Chain A
Amino acid sequence: MHTATLTRPLTYTAPPLTFAEAAERHLDDVFGYLLYLTRDRATADDLTGATFEKALRQWSRFDPRRGTARTWLLGIARTTALDSFRADSRRRKREEAAAEPEAREADFVEGLSPALQTALATLSVGEREVLALRIVIELDGDQTARVLGISPTAVSTRLSRALHKLEEKVRNDDLR
């Protein structure tokens, strides 16, 4: 009679993650991703703050069954960054149509070789973000696809292309 009770598998339900815990745990991921996107620490700082402010407002909508807090926060970070880019683009168009894009930091990631920094600068934002998510933050293909809103195959293709381009740029710089 008691055997059934004893053999029943024990289930452990983790207590729900608080926003503070999620922020503490994934701050570096969000910041790193935004840094690779913007290539500017100050902008990445601002966008990281904006991301967490927005995330706090939307925290009640977070459903752990639909994805991890990390992918959810990175998704918000991406939207925040794109909104910022869009606003910048509109501002530039409005103020000075022929103006050059604002200069970015040459060494936006500390410790990275100058050749790699330069090569990264030649990549598009889309290529840098897939590198950041898959290589730097080490999300898997499905999680990256979820953040970017594309298929895992597209993620794989985009990553492969970015790495190839990066490798080529670095090699060319070495030859020079």
Chain B
Amino acid sequence: MTSAELITELQATRPAADGVLRDRVRAIAATESVRRPSPFARLSRYSPRRFALVVLPATAVVLLAVAGIAGLLDSGSQPGGIEAINSDFSSRSPAVPGSAATTAQGKIAPNLEKGVAAADTAVPAPTSGRAERYSAQLTLSVNDIDALSAATQQALRITRDLGGYLVTASYATTDSGTSSLTLKVPTANVQQAIVRLSGLGKIVAQQVQIYDLQGQVDELTKRENALRLQIIRLSARLATTDLDAETRATLEVRRAAASSALAQVRGASAQVNAEARFATIALMMQTTQSSAAVPVPSRFDNAFGRAVEILAVEAMVVLYALVIVGPLALLALLGWLTRRALRRHQDAQLLSAQ
């Protein structure tokens, strides 16, 4: 018998299931409609490999999307340090509406729109009726060189308006610019001056020092009065005729010394009073470029940076999970491979049997 004949015979006698088996299988199949399909039926159709092919890229996309969206949401705010400084001072940024705003450049004006009431409380006022040495240092940032020039001119105008004067001025511009002014303003108007000058830009730093001079003034006044009285007494004695020449000479020397001392005390007193009458304001203005030591990153830079940070965190979490789960997964894989190999070996043995 040839192979062809064998094949023909095998095919001709193809086995068929009998009626009993057919009915049994039909009965099994009839329960198909009764069975409720599992909600995960569609998922179970995919092999682990196909599932991984979809799930892994999808997970990566989700992680990237989370990082991107979180980065974009977080980028709305400025970087912490700079914002903290700006918001801190901008909240105290004082201004006098309707005064400097009317003459200053447009870029400066918005800062002057803020109310003066809050600013008044922010700037310490000189004590009324007491002599004080009042000095203030004010550092402002303005947008650009044009704004710096306008703000400088405006500062001089404010000083003059309030009865003050300019002591020193330094103005320099290259790519960026700085303007340093030392101003003397009547102490009575210093609070208003600071408020108005602060409105010329964004406050970067502000410092006020008050030193009480009243004790000095009182002491000088007392001494002046005493000297004046002494001079009057000496003059009265010198006006009498019964003085001998030696006594007269001594009294005249003493009166001259008292007059000289009085002149000194008057000078000192005038100096202290002048100090108390005018406050010193050191105004430093700089353009944003020069004042910003750290450039303010753009919204895109912020978003990108934040996204990278989040991605790094995600990568750390994944790495951590891999380190923890990895060995267990490897053991499970080895176990599964061993079991499969054993099963295949068993199958081969079973299939080789007759």
Contact = CB atoms under 8 A, between A and B. Distances in A.
A113 to B, nearest CB: 7
B340 to A, nearest CB: 11
B19 to A, nearest CB: 11
Interface residues of A, number: 53
How many interface residues does chain B have, given as a range? 35 or more
B28 A23 contact: yes
A16 interface: no
Interface string B337-354: 000000000111011111
20 contacts: A20-B32, A24-B26, A28-B15, A48-B25, A49-B21, A52-B25, A52-B28, A56-B28, A86-B346, A86-B350, A101-B353, A109-B13, A111-B12, A122-B354, A123-B354, A124-B353, A125-B351, A129-B351, A135-B10, A136-B15
A112 B29 CA distance: 31
Interface in A16-69: 18-20, 23-24, 27-28, 31-32, 35-36, 45, 48-49, 52-53, 56, 59-63
Q: Is the interface of B mostly helix, strand, loop or mixed?
A: helix
Interface string A76-97: 0000001001100100000000
A32 B15 contact: yes
Contact of A138 (B11, B20, B22, B45): B11
A169 to B, nearest CB: 10
A20 B26 contact: yes
Interface string A121-146: 11111100101000111100000000
A48 B350 contact: no
Interface stretch (B35-43, B148-156, B236-244): B35-43
Given A28-B15, A49-B24, A63 B45 contact: yes
Q: Is the interface of A mostly helix, strand, loop or mixed?
A: helix
A29 B211 CA distance: 109
Contacts of A85: 350, 353
B158 to A, nearest CB: 78
Nearest to A138: B11
B4 to A, nearest CB: 10
B2 interface: yes
Nearest to B24: A49
A19 B31 CA distance: 10
B44 interface: yes
Contacts of A18: 32
Given A23-B25, A32-B14, A171 B1 contact: yes
A167 B3 contact: yes
Given A28-B15, A32-B16, A129-B351, 5 more contacts: A19-B32, A23-B26, A24-B29, A85-B353, A101-B353
A28 B17 contact: yes
A31 B16 contact: yes
A89 B29 contact: no
Interface of A: 18-20, 23-24, 27-28, 31-32, 35-36, 45, 48-49, 52-53, 56, 59-63, 82, 85-86, 89, 101, 109-113, 115-116, 121-126, 129, 131, 135-138, 163-164, 166-167, 170-171, 174
Contacts of B17: 27-28, 31, 45, 48
Contacts of A45: 17-18, 20-21
B25 A136 contact: no
A31 B15 contact: yes
Given A23-B25, A28-B17, A48-B21, A59 B1 contact: no
A58 B352 CA distance: 29
Contacts of A138: 11
Given A31-B21, A109-B15, A136-B15, A20 B30 contact: yes
A31 B14 CA distance: 10
A9 to B, nearest CB: 28
B14 A121 contact: no
Nearest to A158: B351
Contacts of A167: 1-3, 6
B337 to A, nearest CB: 15
B190 to A, nearest CB: 85
Interface in B276-331: none
B25 A174 contact: no
